A and B are shown apart, each in its own frame.
Chain A
Amino acid sequence: MSGSIIVFYLLALLTLVSAVFAVTSRQIFRSAIYLLFSLIGIAGIYFWMQYDFIAVVQIIVYVGGITVLIIFSIFLTQQAGELLPKQKMGRQVFAAMAVFCSFALVMLQVFKNKFIPATGEVVQPNISAIGEKMLATTEGGYALPFELVSILLLAALIGCIVIAMRSASFLTETDKK
């Protein structure tokens, strides 16, 4: 067993174990921290596969952004040290069945189909190749989805501000109280 495979199994173990803890932990703050470790493990797997750009995006967006956002909202809305209510047994069974079925589906596809790796020139997934493809308008380019995502992000930005803004009437009501 070479060192690279050992590193892969360690990263996969970190990701899976912390993902399971994130789902089963009954303290929501701990669950957020386990989620953070799981995301770091996935970023490590991206690094292991030499997809550096995706790994860096993963760390910036998930580890730096979404986890901090989740922890903030936990602090703002939850009393510390409070245990989450235990889930119903039926729900647990249903969730376990859904997980098992999707895992079985993926494994079935992996073993049933014979994957023939495409021959031809290997595209190095470096940033310049990704950027050129992202903004290409020729066949196989991703200029249109790129613009759509930019519009979506703008809409989400404005929507968040509008939702989280206190309306003027609400403000005066709380002032009266």
Chain B
Amino acid sequence: MLMSIELILNSVNLNFIAFNKYVWPNRLDGVFFSIFIIAIAAAEAAVAIAIIINLYRSHQSIDVDQTEEMKY
């Protein structure tokens, strides 16, 4: 689910920052990549939660298996 995506993005951020600190201490590129990843992850989480809440409102469930009316 959403939480796993957040964890994965966080681990990538951590890698960027660590390599930036220990391999290229004279540049700041890793920091910028992390900042942009954080911003995009925030936007993505907000949109996903809006979709989930809307889905729950119309189907009374957030189980993806039950939302099948547009499947056929």
Contact = CB atoms under 8 A, between A and B. Distances in A.
Interface of A: 19, 22-23, 31-32, 35, 38-39, 42, 45-46, 49, 51, 53-54, 57-58, 61-62, 65-66, 69-70, 72-73, 76-78, 106, 115-123, 125, 129-130, 133-134, 140, 142, 145, 149, 152-153, 155-157, 159-160, 163-164, 166, 170
Contact of A120 (B26, B39, B58): B26
A57 B42 CA distance: 11
Majority DSSP secondary structure for residues of B touching A: helix
Given A22-B3, A51-B17, A163-B51, A66 B31 contact: no
> Which of A22, A51, A120, A152 has its CB near the most chain B CB atoms (within 10 A)?
A51
23 contacts: A39-B6, A42-B14, A46-B17, A49-B17, A49-B18, A51-B17, A66-B42, A69-B45, A73-B53, A76-B53, A77-B53, A115-B23, A117-B22, A118-B26, A130-B32, A130-B35, A134-B32, A142-B32, A153-B43, A156-B43, A156-B46, A160-B50, A163-B54
B6 A54 contact: no
Contacts, number: 132
Contact of B50 (A19, A31, A164, A170): A164
B64 interface: no
A123 B46 contact: no
B62 A77 contact: yes
Nearest to B8: A102
A29 B41 CA distance: 21
Interface residues of B, number: 45
Contact of A164 (B26, B36, B53): B53
B46 A160 contact: yes
Q: Which 4 A-B pairs have the closest CB atoms?
A: A156-B43, A120-B26, A160-B50, A163-B50
Contacts of A61: 38-39, 42
> Which of B7, B13, B52 has its CB near the most chain A CB atoms (within 10 A)?
B7
A119 B36 CA distance: 26
Contacts of B71: none
Contacts of A140: 27, 29
Contacts of B36: 145, 149
Contacts of A22: 3, 7
A36 to B, nearest CB: 10
A77 B23 CA distance: 45
